[in-house]
Amino acid sequence: TFSSSARSISPGLQLPSLYSPVTIDGSSAGVVELNGSSSDSNNYGLLFAGSDSTVRGLAIHSFWAGSGIQATSSQGRNTLIAGCFIGTDPSGTVARPNQIYGLFVLDCSENTIGGTAPGEGNLISGNGNGGIHVSGVGSWENVIVGNLIGTDVTGRAELGNGTRGVTLSDAWNNEVGGADPASRNVISGNGLYGVLIEGPEATGNVVL
């Protein structure tokens, strides 16, 4: 269903996986809500299984099978996720959890989560398990910059992800944050870990 007045999309069935380059942009409407509460317990939000896609300006929440956004493919890379609220309502102040992760990157490389220009950072908070989970030896040179992870939209109030803000699990040569102010993430209020790096293959990762 689609409500133009509420700028809200509530899919009743699993959305198709995206294999070709696509741009999904709700920013001209402020934020468009992708609400998974009407879908069944097997559904997740958006799944990118190809390369060179962009998603921005969405509030993605209440998907119960897994994650709000998944990027998963050994052939997939270079997806940009910017200006989204993942795990909250469109105001960015109320938790609306995706059951497991806000954003899950599995064996997928060279993706950018956030950005340094105004409005490119994501709010990734309130999710059931973790905010961002990057996993597998095929996950390398992903960049996570300019995001709020575990706070509300102001960056000043706690709206934590369940156990961890960012996880790099057997993923290598990834970068979380940067030396300049625009690249910095705010990672706060999460249940057990702000940033967790784990696994024997998790080498060369940088947190700044």
pLDDT in tens, 44-89: 899 999 999 999 999 999 998 789 999 987 666 899 999 999 999 9
pLDDT of residue 2: 45
Q: What is the pLDDT of residue 76?
A: 67
Under DSSP, the state recorded for 193 is: E
Helix H, strand E, coil C: the string for 15-42 is: CCCECCCCEEECHHHCCEEEEHHHCCCC
**Which of these, 196, 39, 206, 56, lies nearest to 129 by C-alpha position?**
196
| Model pLDDT, residue 206 | 98
pLDDT in tens, 90-99: 999 999 999 9
Residues of the chain falling short of pLDDT 50? 1-4
Sign for the pseudo-dihedral over CA of 36, 84, 82, 203: negative
Q: Where are the alpha helices (DSSP H) in 53-181?
A: none
Q: Which of 29, 183, 194 is nearest to 121 (CA)?
A: 183
Considering only CA atoms, which of 75, 137, 139 is closest in space to residue 103? 139
For the chain, how many residues are written?
A: 208
State the pTM of this model. Answer: 0.95
| Paired residues of 189 in beta bridges | none
